[in-house]
Amino acid sequence: MNRQPGLFFMYLFVGFVVLFTGSQTALAQVKEGTLWREAVISELDVDFGGTGFHARWRFHRCGCGDLQVQVEQTAPDSVVTGELLMVGGQALLARGFEQQDTDIEPLIQAPSLMLQLAYQLLSSVQPEGPSVLSEKQFWDESEKTLDFKLNTGLATGIFAAPWGVKGSGWTSDTDHQRFELQFQFANPMPDNPEARDSITLSGDLDFRKQAFPYDESTDLGGWRIQWISVNDLESEPVPAGLTLKTLRQQVRDL
């Protein structure tokens, strides 16, 4: 189900590793042709241009198609923390969010939009992908006429042209790919048609295959679940005894 972002984001939208041993050292490389969005674990920090909004998310992508997201979002008057689990792109689970609404779909909109923003910006400044970050690179790109558009399947966003991105990327001591980006875009106001806004993104990408945090026998008690693939507007407590294996089968049977 595709929705526009909630109030938090409406404000903002106005306007792999293959190891090999050499003769001297052991190095790690991302396979040539790997896409930025293929990171297994993506850690993303986002600061929203001096508005007081800041977010830190950690995404773990399973080869089975599931996605775990650890959430920490800070606004001037609140802090939101919790955990999300998307199963097969159809069932969304949430836990740990205080005073969460029964509709939990908005909780995944901000993380998914900003992750897609990061991946698309990285693809724009370095289209060859993460495998070429053998040395630190510095990037500077701009676009004068075409808006920057996002569509995650859950939410959409548009950043008006002209926009530009500056930043850098490198391989860390832990063989992860790291980046820092400043994204500026037009945000015209009635009293200032030339106004611009910015978002700063920094992150750590790990492309190595690794075990998903939850195995199939995991009891999902304590989570709330919402079937977004059938346009459910409210979540409900996970039924007693439901395991991740059973839920995955239910998703496949839809």
pLDDT digits (tens, 9 = 90+) for 150-194: 999 989 999 999 999 999 999 998 789 999 999 999 999 999 989
Q: Please report the pLDDT score of residue 177 as a whole number.
A: 96
Q: Please report the pLDDT score of residue 3 as a whole number.
A: 55
- Domain assignment present for 49: yes
For residues 78-88, give the mean pLDDT.
Answer: 96
- Domain assignment present for 235: yes
pLDDT tens for 189-231 read 999 989 999 999 999 999 999 999 999 999 999 999 999 988 8
For residues 112-118, give the mean pLDDT.
Answer: 97
pLDDT tens for 33-43 read 999 999 999 99
Q: Please report the pLDDT score of residue 51 as a whole number.
A: 87
- Domain assignment present for 23: yes
Position 240: which residue type? A
User: 157 with 9: CB under 8 angstroms?
Assistant: yes
For residues 121-146, give the mean pLDDT.
Answer: 96
Per-residue pLDDT for 101 more than 90? no
How many whole angstroms separate alpha carbon 242 and alpha carbon 247? 7
- Residue located via tokens 């991302």: 30
- Domain assignment present for 116: yes
- Helix (H) and strand (E) counts for the chain? 3, 14
- Domain assignment present for 2: no
Element (H, E) at 125: helix 106-125
Q: Please report the pLDDT score of residue 218 as a whole number.
A: 97
Q: Please report the pLDDT score of residue 217 as a whole number.
A: 97
Q: How many domains does the chain contain in total?
A: 1
Residue 20: pLDDT band with limits 50, 70, 90: very low
Owning domain of residue 213: 7-253
Question: For residue 72, what are the β-bridge partners?
Answer: 56, 81
How many whole angstroms separate alpha carbon 54 and alpha carbon 76? 9
- Domain assignment present for 158: yes
Per-residue pLDDT for 27 more than 60? no
Q: What are φ and ψ of residue 98, in 5° steps? A: -75, 140
Per-residue pLDDT for 7 more than 60? no
- Domain assignment present for 101: yes
Q: Please report the pLDDT score of residue 60 as a whole number.
A: 98
Position 78: which residue type? S
What lies within 8 Å, CB to CB, of 155 at 6+ separation is: 2, 3, 4, 5, 9, 109, 112, 113
Q: Please report the pLDDT score of residue 17 as a whole number.
A: 24
- Domain assignment present for 1: no
For residues 243-251, give the mean pLDDT.
Answer: 97
For residues 39-49, give the mean pLDDT.
Answer: 96
For residues 99-125, give the mean pLDDT.
Answer: 94
Q: What is the mean pLDDT of the chain?
A: 89
SS3 content of the chain, % helix, strand, coil (to 5): 20, 40, 40
Instruction: Determine what percent of the chain is predicted with pLDDT higher than 70.
Output: 89
